[in-house]
Amino acid sequence: MFSKIVLPAVAAMCVAADLPVVEVSLVGANNALSQMEKTRETMENRFVAQLKEKVSAMQKSSAPTVSRAISSVLDLHT
């Protein structure tokens, strides 16, 4: 009975003692996550710009009806 109660309590105290360290490391991780989000957004913007250039080239080289169809698809998704 002693080991069923005391050992888990000791283990919980050891884990609780580590929690402030985990919180401190999460503060540093927040900056890393923010930087990753900025990088992702930059990559997404670059991809969208490249896609718009390709679509524009397709519209210029297509027949007028195809160009209008491409334009309406773009209007639906932007």
- What is the domain count for the chain? 1
Domain that holds residue 67: 2-77
What pLDDT does residue 45 have? 92
Q: 72 falls in which pLDDT band (50, 70, 90)?
A: confident
Helix 64-77 / helix 2-61 crossing angle, nearest 10 deg = 150
Position with higher pLDDT, 3 vs 70 = 70
Q: 62 falls in which pLDDT band (50, 70, 90)?
A: confident
**Percent of the chain having pLDDT more than 90?**
15
Question: 62: which DSSP letter?
Answer: S
Position with higher pLDDT, 5 vs 1 = 5
pTM comes to 0.51
E strands, the chain, are none
